[in-house]
Structure 1
Amino acid sequence: MFIYFLSLQQPQVRSNDSDIVNLPCDNWAILLPGPMLDLEVVPERSLGNEQWEFTLGMPLAQAVAILQKHCRIIKNVQVLYSEQSPLSHDLILNLTQDGIKLLFDAFNQRLKVIEVYDLTKVKLKYCGVHFNSQAIAPTIEQIDQSFGATHPGVYNSAEQLFHLNFRGLSFSFQLDSWTETPKYEPNFAHGLASLQIPHGATVKRMYIYSGNSLQDTKAPPMPLSCFLGNVYAESVDVLRDGAGPSGLRLRLLTAGCGPGVLADAKMRVFERCVYFGDSCQDVLSTLGSPHKVFYKSEDKMKIHSPSPHKQVPSKCNDYFFNYFTLGVDILFDANTHKVKKFVLHTNYPGHYNFNIYHRCEFKIPLAIKRESTDSQMETCTTYSKWDSIQDLLGHPVEKPVVLHRSSSPNNTNPFGSTFCFGLQRMIFEVMQNNHIASVTLYGPARPSGQLKTVDLPHEENNTPSLHQSAQRKDVCRKLMELRPGRNPGSHLLLPVSQRQARGLPSVPALGRSRFHQLRLGIYGSQL
C-alpha cells in the first residue's frame, strides 16, 4: 500500500527515500489544533454540515475539491492506494486529524464507504441531535436512544468486534477490554439495550454505505446534486476505419438542475459523436464549451519526425479543448481549426495528471493479424494492461519513447517516467505498473467537402457558370442589405410574387440547399 499526504494548496511530492511525505497546508495553521468538526449523519447517503457534504456516489475530484476549499479546517489528508495493483484495493482519502476515511471504488472512483474510525476527534449528530460529542459518549444505550431498535448484531471473534447494522449504517463495538465474551443469541431481537452487552460499551467505528450489507456494498450512481451543471461520460467508444481511429462516440450523462428545480431534476442520457476533421464549431455544438482551453507552446515530439530540421516554426499554436469531466482532450490545428488529435485519460493514482481528469471509460478496437487467418478485432479498455495487449498482438512492439513530465524545468516528476508505444495511429502511455495512463488518437482529417456540403446539388466539374456566379453575387448583395437583426433567410418563406416585388433574387433557381450553404459561409466568415 502506497501512502502520501495530499497537499491542499501545493503540488504533491514524494521523497526518493521514503513513501510518506507530509505537505502542510499552512506553515502555522498545521501546528495549531483546529476546531472539532460537527457533522450530520444521514444513513445510506452522506456525512457533512451546512458548508459541505461528502455524499455516497460523489466523484473523487469533488471530494478533493471540498478538502481544498476547507483546507484550514480539514488538514493532514493522506491518499492511500496500491502502487502496483491500483484496481485491487479501494482508493482512500484519510483525514487523519478528524478520524475519517473516504473509501472510493477503485474502478469508477466514486465514494463507496464513509468510515469514522476515531469518534473522539469529531462530533456526530442524527436528525439534529448529538449522539457523539465531548459531553456525550456513543454508548450502546445512546445508539439505541438515537437510532432505535434494529436487527441483532453480528459478533466477529477474529476482530473482537460486535457489529450493529442499520440500513446504510453500521456501528462497531470493541470487545477486547471486556472480561468475557458476550452471550449472543441470534434470535434475540428485543432491541439493542436488551442484548447482553456490558453496560457502557462505546462505539469504536461507524460506517455509512449504500444497501443492507457493508461487505456487499457498491458505490451508488452519482447523485443529481453532484452534477453541478456538468456533463459526464458514461462510456467512450473509439470509432475506426480500415487503418485506425476515425472518431469518438460518447455516451453522456447530465442533469438539468437549474436554480430552484433540483427536486424535479432528472438524469438525461444521450450520445454524441466527434470525428477527426470536425471544426471547432462542430465540437462546441456537440459537446458544449470545454472547461479550459490550452495553447501548445511547442511540440516536444517533432524531433521524432523524419525531417525535424525542415519544419518551419508556426506563427500560431495548436490548441486543446480540455473536457475534464469527460476525461478527454481534443487538439485543434491552429490553421484549419479542425480536430487532429484526441487524448483519453484513465486517471490512475501514481500518474502525474492524477485527479485532473475524471476517468474515461473507453473501449478501443484493435486489429489483430494472425497467421493464416483474417484480421480479428480485440477490445482494449481503460483497465487493460499493456502486457496483455502485447500478447494479443503476437509480435514485438517497437521500443518505447520515455516520457518525463515536470511542472517546471527545475522540478522532477515524483511518480517517475512513463513509456509511449505507437500502435495503429495511436500512442499508448504506459505506467511502470503496466497500466495505461492515456491513449492519444491520430487520424487523417476528412476532406473539407464532406463536412457540410453533402446536401449540395451535383454539378458537372463542380464549376459554376458565369450566370450562376453573377446570381450568387446578387444573392450576397441582397443579404447584406437586409436590416440588422432580421433573420437573413426569412424571405425564403415569401411567395415568388412578393420576392419579385421586393427585388429579391429567385432563390429556387440556385437551389435551396446551396443558398443555405452560401448563407452559412457569409456569416461564418465574420466569426
Structure 2
Amino acid sequence: MSLWNILDMLRRMQHAFPLVEVKYDPDTVTTPVVLHIRPHLDLLFSGYHQRLHTICIRKPRDLNPPITLKYKEHVLSSPDEVLRRLGVNRTFGPTYPGDELRYPGVSFGFDVDGRGEALKSSNHPEDRMQEVRRVVITQKSQEGERRDALDEVSECEAMAGEVERAVVKIHDGITLQFHPSSSTQIRIKLGISSAQDLICDLGPPLRIHYKEDDRMTIHARSLDREGDSDTDYFYNYLQYGVDFLIDGSTHLVKKIVLHTNIPGSPLFQRYKRCPWEIEGRPEDNEDETPPRMRFFDRADQIRHFLGPEQSPPSMLLDRTDDEEALTLPGSITRLVGYDGLVLETTESSQVASVTLF
C-alpha cells in the first residue's frame, strides 16, 4: 500500500485512530516516512515510491485498544492469549539462534525497542516463556536476497494498476507506465487527448473541479482566452498524482499537473506521489535513451537541465493564503517558468509539482 492510501484510510477512521504522527526528514524528497499510531503501530514507507516497507507492532498486550495477531487462522496473541517464545517456536518451527526469532518476512522480539536484547541470553530454559513484545513484518525476500530497511519495495501483485512512472515530453504530453512493468503504456497528448479519452484510459476521475481561480490570466499572452477560462475544468486523478485541465469549449487536455507529494508541503497527502521523469532531447536520431531528470533530482539540477543558459522568470506562491488556520514552515514555493513547462520548487530545492502546457 502507498502512504497516500493509508493516510486516507486513517483519516476516514479517526474514531479508531485519533492521533497519528508523521515523521520525516524535511530536507530531502526521498525521505523515508514513518507513521506512528499509538500505542501499537509504526509503519515505515520507502523514500522514493512511498510504499509500505515495514510494519512494527509494539506492546501487543496493551489493551488500549486491544489487538489480535493471527497467522493464517491461528491466533498468536489476543487479550486472552499471551504470545511467548515457546508459542512462536511451535507455530513457525526452528530458526537460527539469536535474541530475536527471525523468519522470512517476520521477526519476533522480546524488548519493546530492541535495545536491550543484546544483553540477554536465550540459552536458559526459562527463556521459553519470554513474552513477545515486538513483531516486525516486512516483504518476504527471495531466496538468498538480502534487503535493507531503506530499500524500495519489490514489485508485487498489490501494485497492479498503479503508476510506475510518468514520462514528460515538453510540448507533447505524458506517457504513463503502470504496474506490472509489462502492462500497456498510456499516452496523453496536449491538445489532442480528450476528456472522453481520459475516462476510457484511466477511468473516471476521483474529482471534477471547475476552474474558478483566474489570478494567473493577467500573465496570459493572449487576452482573447480570458473570456473562456471560466468554462475550463480539471479532472483530478488523486490516486495517480495527476491533474488534467480540460478546455471548456473543445474538451481537449490543455494542461497536465504532476504532483510529488512532499511531506510537510502544503499539498502533502492531497495526491499520491507521481514518479515523473522529464525527458530531454536525444543526442541524435538513433539515441533510444534520451536523458531524463526525475522527481527526486534537486530543482537547481533540473533548471540547468531545462535551460543551462537561461535565467527563467519566477514568482512566489503561498498556498496557505486561503487557509487562515494553517501554518507551515515551508508554505512558500517558487514557480519557475519555461516554454511549455512550470516547476513549483520549495525552499529546500525540491520540486513539488510539474505543470505541462
Q: TM-score interval w.r.t. the shorter chain? A: 0.7 to 0.9
Residue 275 of structure 2 corresponds to residue 361 of structure 1: yes
Structure 1 stretches (4+) deviating beyond 6 angstroms?
Answer: 175-180
Matching residue of 1:249? 175
**1:273/1:286 contact within 8 Å kept:** no
Residue aligned with 2:178, SS: strand
Aligned 1:248-267 pairs, distance under 5 A: 248-253=174-179
Go from structure 1 to structure 2 and tell me whether the alpha carbon gap of 1:144 and 1:348 turns closer, same or farther (over 3 Å shift): same
Residue 97 of structure 2 corresponds to residue 152 of structure 1: yes
Shift of 1:94: 0.9
Distance in 1, Cα, partners of 2:201 & 2:77: 50
Residue 58 of structure 2 corresponds to residue 117 of structure 1: yes
Letter in 2 for 1:144: N
Residue aligned with 1:388, SS: helix
Shift of 1:223: 3.5
Residue aligned with 1:344, SS: strand
Q: Aligned match of 1:433 in 332, 348, 351?
A: 348
Distance in 2, Cα, partners of 1:315 & 1:179: 66
Q: Aligned match of 1:419 in 334, 339, 346?
A: 334
Matching residue of 1:67? 10
Residue 191 of structure 2 corresponds to residue 273 of structure 1: no
Matching residue of 2:212? 297
Aligned 1:168-179 pairs, distance under 5 A: 168-174=105-111
Distance in 1, Cα, partners of 2:209 & 2:257: 13
Matching residue of 1:332? 246
* Structure with larger Rg: 1
Residue 104 of structure 2 corresponds to residue 167 of structure 1: yes
Matching residue of 1:140? 85
**2:259/2:352 contact within 8 Å kept:** yes
Q: Which moved more, 1:395-404 or 1:126-135?
A: 126-135
Residue aligned with 1:119, SS: coil
Letter in 1 for 2:102: N
Letter in 1 for 2:50: Q
Shift of 1:78: 0.9
Q: Give 5+ residue unaligned stretches, structure 1.
A: 1-57, 154-161, 185-194, 255-266, 370-376, 443-527
Aligned 1:119-518 pairs, distance under 5 A: 119-121=60-62, 122-153=67-98, 162-174=99-111, 181-182=120-121, 195-196=123-124, 198-199=126-127, 200-212=129-141, 215=148, 218-224=152-158, 231-239=161-169, 244-253=170-179, 269-278=183-192, 279-305=194-220, 313-314=227-228, 316-366=230-280, 378-392=291-305, 393-395=307-309, 397-406=311-320, 408=322, 410-414=324-328, 415-442=330-357
Matching residue of 1:84? 27
Q: Count residues in correspondence.
A: 337
Distance in 2, Cα, partners of 1:286 & 1:140: 52
**1:171/1:203 contact within 8 Å kept:** yes
Go from structure 1 to structure 2 and tell me whether the alpha carbon gap of 1:349 and 1:368 turns closer, same or farther (over 3 Å shift): farther
Distance in 2, Cα, partners of 1:214 & 1:343: 34
Letter in 2 for 1:379: R
Residue aligned with 1:269, SS: coil
Shift of 1:84: 0.9
**1:274/1:286 contact within 8 Å kept:** no
Distance in 2, Cα, partners of 1:368 & 1:214: 35
Q: Which moved more, 1:173-182 or 1:360-369?
A: 173-182
Go from structure 1 to structure 2 and tell me whether the alpha carbon gap of 1:440 and 1:180 turns closer, same or farther (over 3 Å shift): closer
Go from structure 1 to structure 2 and tell me whether the alpha carbon gap of 1:339 and 1:177 turns closer, same or farther (over 3 Å shift): closer
Distance in 2, Cα, partners of 1:438 & 1:80: 22
Cα deviation per residue 1:130-167 (whole Å; 9 max; x = unaligned)?
333444433222322333322223xxxxxxxx221011
**2:165/2:275 contact within 8 Å kept:** yes
Cα deviation per residue 1:459-496 (whole Å; 9 max; x = unaligned)?
xxxxxxxxxxxxxxxxxxxxxxxxxxxxxxxxxxxxxx
Shift of 1:285: 3.2
Identical aligned pairs, as a percentage?
26
Distance in 2, Cα, partners of 1:206 & 1:61: 24
Shift of 1:103: 1.0
Instruction: For CA contacts below 8 A with separation 6 or more, give which structure has more relative contact order.
Output: 2
Go from structure 1 to structure 2 and tell me whether the alpha carbon gap of 1:378 and 1:176 turns closer, same or farther (over 3 Å shift): closer
Shift of 1:280: 2.7
Cα deviation per residue 1:409-466 (whole Å; 9 max; x = unaligned)?
6344524111110123210001122111110011xxxxxxxxxxxxxxxxxxxxxxxx
Cα deviation per residue 1:181-218 (whole Å; 9 max; x = unaligned)?
52x7xxxxxxxxxx446533332321011235664664
Distance in 2, Cα, partners of 1:303 & 1:236: 31
Q: Give 5+ residue unaligned stretches, structure 2.
A: 284-289
Cα deviation per residue 1:232-253 (whole Å; 9 max; x = unaligned)?
22222223xxxx4211222234
